[in-house]
């Protein structure tokens, strides 16, 4: 009789215990929600290739002496990703200050293609002067970039933090 009780208790408690713990966060769904609810509703979307071709800025400040990545590096990268994976890039811009983008976004193709896109971006990293950052949802992806100066600043900040921790 005690074995039956243990079996019944196991059948009742095991699912309850498995359900306990931290709830898994679907970061891809959160990103998609941000794109759909914030970026699509509160910002203008402009074809990214046209945006850059007409002088729009994303990483570049437009100031003399500052690094330039937008037209010589980012625009060709977006074109290669469009040609290879069919990604149609949108520049997310302020409704009034339309010269500056806050994000570059593309709708993702099927699930299997996402791994191929990640591999392409990883391969592009070798020739990019800085770092390519990418974020993926289930429906959307975005790219951002760090300049070589950004990377040096980050390394210096990490070094100082390490020294302070010792």
**Residue 139 banded pLDDT, cuts 50, 70, 90:** very high
In a domain, residue 70? The reply is yes
Contact residues for 140 (Cβ-Cβ < 8 A; gap 6+): 31, 32, 35, 36, 105, 106, 107, 108
Beta strand segments in the chain, E: 44-47, 89-93, 101-107, 130-136, 140-147
Q: Is residue 18 part of a domain?
A: no
Mean pLDDT of the region 117-143: 94
Residue 1: inside a domain: no
Residue 118's domain spans which residues?
Answer: 23-165
Q: Is the pLDDT of residue 13 over 50?
A: no
CA distance 67 to 44: 26
The proportion of the chain whose per-residue pLDDT surpasses 70, expressed as a percent, equals: 84
Determine the Cα–Cα distance for residues 68 and 73; give it in Å rounded to an integer. Answer: 8
Is residue 106 assigned to a domain? yes
Q: Please give the tally of structural domains in the chain.
A: 1
130 in a domain, yes or no?
yes
Q: Is residue 82 part of a domain?
A: yes
* Predicted TM-score of the model (pTM): 0.78
pLDDT-derived band at 6, boundaries 50, 70, 90: very low
According to the model, what pLDDT value does residue 19 have?
52
DSSP 3-state helix, strand, coil percentages of the chain (rounded to 5)?
Answer: 55, 20, 25
What pLDDT, on a 0 to 100 scale, did the predictor assign at position 111? Answer: 66
pLDDT in tens, 18-70: 555 567 888 999 999 999 999 999 999 999 999 999 999 888 777 777 768 88
């Amino acid at each position: 009789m005690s074995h039956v009780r243990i079996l019944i208790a196991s059948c009742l408690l095991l699912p309850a215990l498995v359900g306990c713990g931290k709830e898994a966060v679907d970061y891809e769904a959160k990103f998609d929600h941000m794109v759909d609810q914030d970026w699509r509703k509160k910002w203008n979307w402009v074809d990214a290739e046209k945006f850059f071709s007409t002088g729009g800025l994303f990483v570049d400040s437009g100031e003399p002496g500052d690094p330039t990545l937008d037209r010589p590096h980012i625009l060709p990268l977006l074109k290669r990703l469009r040609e290879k994976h069919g990604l149609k890039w949108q520049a997310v811009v302020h409704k009034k200050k339309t010269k500056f983008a806050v994000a570059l976004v593309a709708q993702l193709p099927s699930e299997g293609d996402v791994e191929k896109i990640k591999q392409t971006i990883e391969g592009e990293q070798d020739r990019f002067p800085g770092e390519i950052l990418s974020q993926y949802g289930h429906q959307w992806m975005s790219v951002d970039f760090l300049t070589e100066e950004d990377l040096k600043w980050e390394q210096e900040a990490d070094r100082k933090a390490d020294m302070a921790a010792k």
